[in-house]
Structure 1
């Protein structure tokens, strides 16, 4: 099992994270598996509004214990 820190912003199910904002997943989990597990809408990750360890990575990238997944909030102006 691996522990991944998640900063979901306004997206996803925060109740799946512990008090340190960590979720535990099977060893062979990918970025896509994590996004599905926490209920991130497909539009958010298909548009690339996430980063793994502060870098853009493909959905098939395998996760490692201690990774950090965070989200970029789209900006609007006027």
Structure 2
């Protein structure tokens, strides 16, 4: 995808300051702090939260089963 951007701070943008840019040039993820390491951290936190919820639910189920047996 391509965007028409203005390279100057003038409003309205003069025609000589207009240029076409690609999505990668306009929306650079590294400028926002989105790197491969950050994506891995977020993924691991999400995976850990789901795994914690699963084990917590499993342990509660086992505990309730033992209580019902008594």
Class of the TM-score when normalised by the shorter of the 2 chains: under 0.3
Higher strand share: 1
**Greater RCO (CA < 8 Å, at least 6 residues apart):** 1
